[in-house]
Amino acid sequence: MEAPKIIIAVDGYSSSGKSSMAKALARSLGYNYVDTGAMYRAVTLYAMCHGLIAADGAVDTEVLTAALPRISVTFKRDADGSQHTILNGEDVENEIRGLEVSGHVSDVSAIPAVRHFLVEQQQAFGKEKGIVMDGRDIGTTVFPNAELKIFVDASARTRAERRFKELQAKGVDTTFDEVLANVESRDLIDRTRKESPLRKADDAISLDNSTMTIDEQNRWLIDQYHNVISRLTSK
């Protein structure tokens, strides 16, 4: 019997490695993968490019809300499997990962209209199931009925170290303290915002991957997947 397709929600703090693990899991299951952080980052880039973020960081919520119907965020997969985020037809994968977007994305993603707009699209992506989606509110808001929910955690310092290495490898000019400050401030905004704050769903399984290798993580995830499938098929 073919295994039923399920929805897998992977939530957690920024730079917890959840995107890499969600991507690897999707690849090994032949599932679609959606990086919802990239969608919030793309909307942030749109706001930046259209002068909707003031020098002091204030976002023009009203104008951005009115512009939402003109914003299209899609994904394109390369032959090598790497995923690119497309904003209104343009590949913005590199731009959305920069520190400038990272500095504004928490404020943009705290805007209720932005969240409603993107959550609706995310729910449409999951209609056929067979999907791994990573973000902050996937298990709580986007797919409260997801069959498998993972909540990834690791200390802010561990996450900042990972992010710093990634940025260094990309040649981005920054310091560890700057990256740590960005991780900590995003954690705070993500946790305390009114609309869909970052929170572990009651039925999510926690994973602290501070000391796990990528292989150990991937094996652990596949085990969780098989547990769910055997529970569903033994009913």
Q: Which residues bind ligand DC (CB under 6 A)?
A: 14, 36-37, 40-41, 105-106, 109, 135-137, 186, 190
Q: Which is nearer to ligand DC, 182 or 221 (CB)?
A: 182
**In the bound complex, what is the minimum distance in angstroms from residue 78's beta carbon to ligand DC?**
19
Q: H helices within 15-155, ranges in order?
A: 18-29, 36-49, 61-67, 99-109, 112-125
Taking the complex as a whole, the smallest distance from the CB of residue 168 to ligand DC amounts, in Å, to 18
- Estimate to the nearest angstrom the gap between the alpha carbon of 90 and the chain centroid: 20
> At a CB cut-off of 8 Å and minimum separation 6, what does 23 contact?
33, 35, 83, 132
CB of 137 to ligand DC, least distance (A): 5
Quick one: three-class SS letters along 36-59?
HHHHHHHHHHHHHHCCCECCCCCE
Q: Which is nearer to ligand DC, 180 or 229 (CB)?
A: 180
Q: At what angle do helices 214-233 and 18-29 cross, to 10 degrees?
A: 50
The letter for the amino acid at 67 is A
Least distance between ligand DC and beta carbon 174 (Å):
15
- Nearer to ligand DC by Cβ, of 38 and 221: the residue is 38
CA dihedral over 208, 212, 215, 220, signed as positive or negative: negative
Min CB(136)–ligand DC separation in Å: 4
Nearer to ligand DC, 37 or 126 (CB): 37
Given the complex with ligand DC, which of 184 and 229 has the nearer CB atom?
184
Backbone angles phi, psi at 168, to 5 degrees: -60, -45
19: nearest Cα among 8, 5, 6, 33: 33
CB count within 10 Å of CB 25 equals 23
Least Å distance, CB 3 to ligand DC, is: 26
Query: Judged by CB, which is closer to ligand DC: 14, or 217?
Result: 14
